[in-house]
Structures are given as C-alpha cells and as structure tokens.
Structure 1
C-alpha cells in the first residue's frame, strides 16, 4: 500500500497586512478539505521593518488600497474588517506570537492579533495593548513582558525573514507547499502568492502531488515597498 504523502505549508504573513487576514479563512478551508495531511507553519515577514517609514494611517495611499481592493474582497469573502486608525510596526506583535509558541498558545494569539488590528482597530505596536491581548488569550503577561523587553524571539523572526529573502518573497501573503518525508522536504515546492481563491490552492496541491515542475501562482498581495 502506497503511504499517504504529507504536505508542509509554509506561510509568510504580517499582522498589518489586510490581504493576509483575508486569506486566513481560505487557508483554513484548504487544510480542512485537503485529501492529504497538511502541516502548516506560520513565518514572520515585516512589510515595513525599521527604518522603512510608516505610512499615514488615513493617507491617500492606504485609503485607496482599502477602497479599491480590501473592502471589495472582504465583502466577497464575508470577512468583517475595517481600516485601522493606526499604522504600527509589527515586530512586537511577532515577538508576542513567537513567544506564545512556548506556551502552546500560538494559534489563538495569531488570530487574536489580526482581529485586534483589523476588527477592533487596536494598536498592536503597543506593549500595553499586546499585554492586554495576552491576558485575553491566556498567555502569562509577566513572562511576555520580559520576553518583549529582552527581544528573546528576535533571532527566530530574523531567521524567518532571511529565509523569505532566499525564496524571493517580496509580497504577502506567500505560501509554499512542499512534500515531506520524515520531516524533510522532497521534490520541487509549489508557491502561491497573494489572496488566491480555494481553487488556486487546490490546483497548486495537485501540481505538487503530481511532482510537476516548479509553479508560482501570482495574485493580489501587499508588497514590501516604500510609498
């Protein structure tokens, strides 16, 4: 009997990227409806790391993106979200998310950070806000505060971003599907860029399992560029 292949799904995301939030439900459905086991791993990718200037939260640039792309897609996918009143850096949010892995709370924190920013308009660049989210998610606030102050997860975040650089990640969301054997990637991975519909994700999986040549599916995404 031929063993069922296992697929690894590496996802690069940023908590201030609306398209990443819009893609989350699609990725959840993709895993739930897949005919093969899929192991998902989230990775950090800061669209505006220091010292890239932050955008104006109500400026013409970001307002245009929301009116022309984010809100229409959110309505199409029935996702509740609104343009945040702040435009923070996401490094501290990543520090919190990575720390939460040690407490087995990554998934709940990961989703709570997106909701806090895109539904509630909270400043996820603020330590006080992150500590309050931690309380809501059952994460030890004292230990988190210490981790944030000491940047204990800095290396892990930088390793993720270095890997993204090697893979040529310039926009989000970015998903790489790989076949694995005993935890090791085998064959040629398939990349899906942007807010791909479920059908694109399924087609990418079909190509991967057929061991087809490398594929790179491009859809709408947020890119790491200066305004």
Structure 2
C-alpha cells in the first residue's frame, strides 16, 4: 500500500471486547505488516449511568438479561482470550461499570498532545487489570500523568469540561452513522467491521485490503 491504511476504531474503555478486538487487530497488523494509522473515537455504552456507577455483573444481567452463570462463563472466556493476547483481565465480584464521558474528554485532549493511543491503553489496563475507579477525576488525572501527560492540565480539562461539546458532537456523528455497539472498526473510511472478529478474520480483512490497494 502506498499510503498508510486508515483505521478508525469506535470504542469505550468500559468494554472488554474493545480491548480484546484491538489486541486481535494488533496481532493481525503485525502479521501482515500493513502500514497503518489508528484513530480512536468516542462511544458511551452507558451515557445515562450515574457517577457512582453500578456493579458490573448486576449491570450485565439487567442490560442483557444474562443469568449469573452466563455472566461467569463470559468472564472466563474473556479472561482466557485476554491471556492469549497479552492482556490481563482481573474480574472480581465487586467490579463496577462507570460513566465514561470524562474519559472520552481526557482522551480528546490527549489526542491534541499526540498521546491518545497511549492513554487509551492505560485506561483499559487501569479499569480491567487494576480496577481503578475511572469515575474519579483524581484517578483520571493520575493515569494521565503516568502516561506522560501534564497532571495539572489533565485535571483542568476535567474540571472545566472544555472538550464536552466536541466529544458530544463526535459521539453523535458515529451514532448517526449507525454505530450502536462497540468495538466498531472502519477500514479506509468505508469498510465497517463490528465486534472482536478474531485475529484470523482481521488478518484476512487486512490482506484483502492490501491486495485491493496494490
């Protein structure tokens, strides 16, 4: 390919399948050696969720009608997949879901600093591996600092909500494009793939796109 393949990923850091899907895609990108550039975009799984959040298992059972047994089976599946992809899920009975509007604002700001990808990965790890409270603005500022960003500025971004309008606009854009769930991956601005497709499927997609551009 003469120019890098543009890959737009719409996701939420509360979504375990988003990090699984990204890791699968990342393995496929390494295997195919396709020149690419990744662009992350905001999506809120639970925009109406209050600040204090909700127990994750209770939330999944309420939202999707899963039984406790199905929920546990899903956690086991995700943990095993994560392990195979080098990501450490540490699910616990008291793990919580949180509203992520602030995380998306922080990511928007990090994008202006050229650090959106690094912060995105750090937020996934903070939530799923270390079970840090991403609804706490102090925790978010800490994570930004640990990623190499200015902590005081990160705190200021969250305090004054300066990027709230832009993030809302971006969220609305993607929902207007028909995105109702994540992960959603758009290759070359035209090929939409939803869900964690698996490394083999992502590899096939990348090879087909590379052949088409060749």
The counterpart of 1:95, out of the listed 105, 120, 145, is 105
Distance 1:64 1:163 in 2: 37
The counterpart of 2:156, out of the listed 146, 161, 172, is 146
Count residues with an aligned counterpart: 201
Q: Secondary structure at the match of 2:55?
A: coil
Return 5+ residue gaps in structure 1 as ranges: 179-184, 212-227
Residue 205 of structure 1 deviates from its aligned partner by 3.0
The one-character-per-residue Cα deviations of 1:9-49 (angstroms, maximum 9, x if unpaired) are: 11001010111122221122233233532121000000111
Residue 102 of structure 1 deviates from its aligned partner by 2.5
Residue of structure 1 in register with 2:56 after alignment: 57
Residue of structure 2 in register with 1:13 after alignment: 11
Residues 34-73 of structure 1 mapped to structure 2, 5 A cutoff? 34-50=32-48, 55-59=54-58, 61=61, 66-73=71-78
Return 5+ residue gaps in structure 2 as ranges: none
Residue of structure 2 in register with 1:202 after alignment: 203
Relative to structure 1, the CA distance from residue 126 to residue 64 in structure 2 (aligned partners, 3 Å threshold; closer, same or farther) is farther
Question: Bigger CA drift: 152-161 or 60-69?
Answer: 60-69
The one-character-per-residue Cα deviations of 1:37-83 (angstroms, maximum 9, x if unpaired) are: 21210000001113689543342717556422232133134131023
- Report which structure shows greater RCO (CA 8 Å, sep ≥6): 2
Indicate the RMSD between aligned Cα atoms, in angstroms: 2.6
Relative to structure 1, the CA distance from residue 195 to residue 134 in structure 2 (aligned partners, 3 Å threshold; closer, same or farther) is same
The normalised TM-score by structure 1 is 0.77
1:83 equivalenced with 2:87 (yes/no): no
Q: Looking at secondary structure, tell me which structure has more helix per residue.
A: 2
The one-character-per-residue Cα deviations of 1:151-174 (angstroms, maximum 9, x if unpaired) are: 122233223212211221111111
Q: Which runs of 4+ in 1 moved over 6 A?
A: none
Q: Looking at secondary structure, tell me which structure has more strand per residue.
A: 1
Residue of structure 2 in register with 1:216 after alignment: none
Residue of structure 2 in register with 1:155 after alignment: 165
Residue 115 of structure 1 deviates from its aligned partner by 0.4
